[in-house]
Structure formats: C-alpha cells, structure tokens
Structure 1
Amino acid sequence: MHRERRPSEWDLIESGADLSTALDTIPPSHTVLVDALGAFTAWHLDASSVDWMELEAELIHSLQARQRPVVVVIEETGWGVVPATAIGGRFRDRQGRLAQQLETIASASWLVVQGRALDLHALGYSVPDR
C-alpha cells in the first residue's frame, strides 16, 4: 500500500550505513523518501559518541543541501519498553536525539499512528532544554 500511494517520481533510499553518501548521489532537484532512520542508527551502534555526532552532523548537512523535500521516516523508540541492554539503550538514545535534531531543520513534522496523522508543528510545543 505504501508504494502505491508514494509518488512515482520520488527517489527511495532504504536507509543503511552511509545515508549521507546515498543522499548526495541523488540529484538535489529530486524529492527523496528515506525509509527509515532506524537502520542507519543500528549500523553505527558501535561508533564512539564523537564519531556518532560527526555522522549526525554529516547527515544534517546532506539534508540541508537538498533543493527539494526529503521525507524521513523515523521509528519512534520512546514509547516502548526501556531496553534491558546497553546497546538497546544506546539505540533508543541515539535515535531519539537524531529525531530531535532533524525536527529543528524540518519544515513539517507528522506523527502517523494507525493510519492517522497529527501535524506536530501545529499541535505541539517545544520542550525547553534544562
């Protein structure tokens, strides 16, 4: 169903280890769908915190260089069970932080659950840093 509803002219990236390079190989004038961010995060769970922050910065730079929209599907990890393992916690923390960083550059943010969509820019409020 997802493929049937997606415009045929969109380029699809099924996220992997080198998401920034994948984005950079698609002409900036094309609309891109990144499906989904979890695989990118999972590929880099063994990266140091410093290396991970560099990967985040590279991805954000690649996204900001685009002329056309990029739709990024992000798995929501904060609603589930707290992971019992360190690597599970690292995935949740990195995925959540990256989602928050992408929100700061997003022109729109939608929460889609059970076929229903909520416009987070219209309905939500930013939580202040403490």
Structure 2
Amino acid sequence: MGKVILITGAARSGKSEWAESLAKQSGKQVIYVATATENPADIEWQKRILAHQQRRPQNWTTLAVPIEISATLADAKPHSCLLVDSLGTWVTNLLDQDEISWQNTSTEFLETVQLVAADMLFVAEEVGWGVVPAYPIGRLFRDRLGSLVRQLGAICDTVYLVAGGHVLNLSVLGTPLPKAIDEEL
C-alpha cells in the first residue's frame, strides 16, 4: 500500500496548496483527480477552478472524476501520486444517493484506499464547526462528509489540519479516536 495522506481544514485555508506541495515533493508522477464539474453559467465557480488549474505544473495529469473515485484509485500505478481535490465536492456530487447507496459508495471508497499501491493525497473540507445547517440537505452534507473524513483519517498514515495559514500535523500532535461502532466498515 502507498502512503495515504489527508489534508483537512476550512475554506480558503490553504489545503489544496499544501496538498500540491506534498505531491511535488513525492517525486512521483502526479495525477490530479478533480471532483468539481465545470459550470460556465457560474462565473465565480469557474474562477475557482481556473485558479486551481493555473497552480498545477504542466507535467501533472488531470482527471475529471466527479463520481467514480474508487475506480480511479483502483487503476493507479504504484509509481504515481494521486491528489484528490476535494472530498467535499465529491460528497456533494453524490447527495442524491439514498442512505444505503451512500453507505455502499463510502465503504467501497474506504476499502479501495486501503488496497491501492500508489501514494494518495486527499483534500477535504472540515465541516461542522459552526451552526447546525437549517436545511436537511445541509445537515446531510455535513454528516456524510464529517463521517467520511473521520473514517478516512483513521486509516491514513498522516493527517494534516490547515488553519490560519498554518499546517498542523495531527498525526504527531493528536491522539486518534477509537473507531466509532456505527462507522465500522
């Protein structure tokens, strides 16, 4: 199994830049797995996507993978480094799944991560530090992403938190929680 690294933090905290820095340091062929889909009608969204594209070195391969992350990971070669940005967008893309389908999708993802020989970097938004969302879809997103990030963090070699322009290595500074009974694979 390759190295598995999770980079989490708030919006605009520098998560993606830190992940990109780690990918460059890997010395491997970087495959950038973009979970966002372009929307020409949303100018602000397009600007965000363009900013990410402009930061990437030209020798990186970019794959647009809004849904099938597990299959993409499973196809990775050991000499590569996959940078998945972001899990929050991936979860958003799958919010229409019912609970059983989501459980199957997230379980497949977590199982696949543990089998891949390539290095993998996952960028994920840290959610739930504010008010409880007023709408059911917001609560569903928060709960699904929060649970996924916790489960992924439990199987990662390293977990980083990016906050206030600083990177904290939680694997060194923190103590992992025991696996939650309702989150076991």
TM category (shorter chain) comes to: 0.7 to 0.9
Shift of 1:81: 2.9
The answer to whether the 8 A contact 1:10-1:31 is kept is yes
Q: Aligned pair in 2 of structure 1 residues 61, 4: CA closer, same or farther (>3 Å)? A: closer
TM-score, normalization by structure 1:
0.87
Aligned-pair identity (%)? 33
How many residues are treated as equivalent by the alignment? 130
SS at match of 1:109: strand
- Counterpart for residue 80 of structure 1: 130
The answer to whether the 8 A contact 1:28-1:65 is kept is no
CA distance in 1, matches of 2:112, 2:67: 14
Q: In structure 1, what residue type is equivalent to 2:116? A: R
Q: Residue 91 in 1 paired to residue 152 in 2?
A: no
Higher strand share: 2
Asked which structure has the greater RCO (Cα within 8 Å, sep 6+), the reply is 2
Alignment of 1:11-90 (within 5 A): 11-15=31-35, 16-90=66-140
CA distance in 2, matches of 1:52, 1:4: 28
Shift of 1:63: 1.2
CA distance in 1, matches of 2:141, 2:95: 7
Q: Which structure 2 residue ranges, 5 or more long, are not aligned? A: 1-15, 36-65
Shift of 1:74: 0.6
CA distance in 1, matches of 2:134, 2:113: 33
TM-score, normalization by structure 2:
0.63
Higher-Rg member (1/2): 2
**What is the root-mean-square deviation in Å for CA atoms of aligned residues?**
2.3
Of 104-113 and 27-36, deviating more is 27-36
